Structure 1
């Protein structure tokens, strides 16, 4: 089990180091092949928190971004408390959580493949931020990852590259904190979160990220991204079909 966890986080970290994203998506997708979504999300807490904070504070202007996106962040918090989706904290919704995660991965993969030019939603930011934040928070406690609709929405705001990276890091950090609190307050069958194994997972994740930064300069990034997103679509569709008993 420990060997599998180390391998998963090493691969996920390498992908994040190469293209700047993918750690939670890849980790959750692979881990749920052998453990429950709740257990997989619990293992993500420390690696996600550390890598997201790293991403958040890579540049300055954190306070400025918090002032701008506080409604998005508040929405994430509210959504994680009052989710409209079946959550990871209920053992009776194991099927729904895995199917929803598979759907999320497939949609995110399709978005990555086909969303070339996102419309500029910055003029509607005041109205959309709390809605998008709420859905992001609700899906975080339902699947263990924050992808749809937060990532496409933030990318549609026409931010400068550094602001985009930091804003995503800010959203990911808040959602990870909310997920950690939620999992702690809603254990499945009174099973405590294995923080020790989550801490162990941090080491291969960081090593993978370091390796990914080296790979980044040696392979065409666009080609790697295309393969990655295609993989998410295939894996997400397979996960849904598997839960439905089709495959």
Structure 2
């Protein structure tokens, strides 16, 4: 589509509805806004414009999720090795998303998400010895950063890693928000570094903040009234949905 279509009323309404839906998914499960929105926006506007448009609503919703709990300090203290290497690796790999073909990587990520979710739904668990957590976190963060820089997707392997750390429901959601905030900021910096932030898409990105937050608020209300078991299943089914969406988009 041409840039002049970006502000047509019908398109703006479709974008707003997309962000409400994506925000609801994020409110319930703590993740999914960028990927759910990208799956729809990719059929409406160019991928580069869609990626730029996602930055502000993703960042703002992540900041709300970041500060929405009472354990921010403790979570940052535990997650900092992963966060550090996420930022470094994302910046190093940011040239890939602006100049390379990421289709195969996205397909592999989608397969990995589906496999992990099905494996966990079957009752399997990843366990981490406390003495190895910091060193593993450095590796997990670096790999996540490389994949973020290469594809713009920052769920693997950070999401299964964070889920393996034994957080309670609200702690898990906040920990995901912290991880996604750092990844989003690093990706935005990388895109800016390579002159890949279209101004017009950023204007629509600012407008998309409100519907995304409305959707996130609705999803958070739902999350507060469901049981931990239902929440876990919703979380894992969201991973399956994210993985399938990535596979279909890469096919």
Paired positions, count? 235
Say if 1:37 and 1:118 are closer, same or farther in 2 by CA, change over 3 A: farther
Which residue, out of 134, 147, 151, partners 1:139? Answer: 147
29-38 or 55-64: which moved more?
Answer: 29-38
Which residue, out of 76, 79, 100, partners 1:69? Answer: 79
Hey, what does 1:180 align to over in structure 2? 188
Aligned mates of 1:164, 1:87 — CA distance in 2: 30
Task: State the superposition RMSD in angstroms.
Answer: 2.7
Helix, strand or coil: the match of 1:88?
helix
**What's the TM-score once normalised by structure 2's chain length?**
0.81
Structure 1 residue 41 displacement after superposition: 2.0
Structure 1 residue 132 displacement after superposition: 0.7
Structure 1 residue 129 displacement after superposition: 0.9
Structure 1 residue 12 displacement after superposition: 0.6
Q: Are residues 1:103 and 2:113 paired?
A: no
- Tell me if structure 2 keeps the 8 A contact 1:37–1:98: no
Helix, strand or coil: the match of 2:96?
coil
Which residue, out of 24, 39, 45, partners 1:14? Answer: 24
Q: Are residues 1:166 and 2:174 paired?
A: yes
Aligned mates of 2:237, 2:28 — CA distance in 1: 12
Helix, strand or coil: the match of 1:208?
helix
Structure 1 residue 184 displacement after superposition: 1.2
Which residue, out of 53, 57, 64, partners 1:47? Answer: 57
- Tell me if structure 2 keeps the 8 A contact 1:155–1:164: yes
Helix, strand or coil: the match of 1:53?
helix
Q: Are residues 1:119 and 2:126 paired?
A: yes
Structure 1: gaps spanning 5 or more residues = 242-247
Structure 1 residue 185 displacement after superposition: 1.4
Aligned mates of 1:39, 1:103 — CA distance in 2: 24
Q: Are residues 1:237 and 2:244 paired?
A: no
- Tell me if structure 2 keeps the 8 A contact 1:99–1:239: no
**What's the TM-score once normalised by structure 1's chain length?**
0.82
Structure 1 residue 225 displacement after superposition: 5.2
- Tell me if structure 1 keeps the 8 A contact 2:95–2:190: no
- Tell me if structure 1 keeps the 8 A contact 2:61–2:216: no
42-51 or 31-40: which moved more?
Answer: 31-40
Aligned mates of 1:237, 1:109 — CA distance in 2: 10
Say if 1:164 and 1:234 are closer, same or farther in 2 by CA, change over 3 A: closer
Structure 1 residue 126 displacement after superposition: 1.9
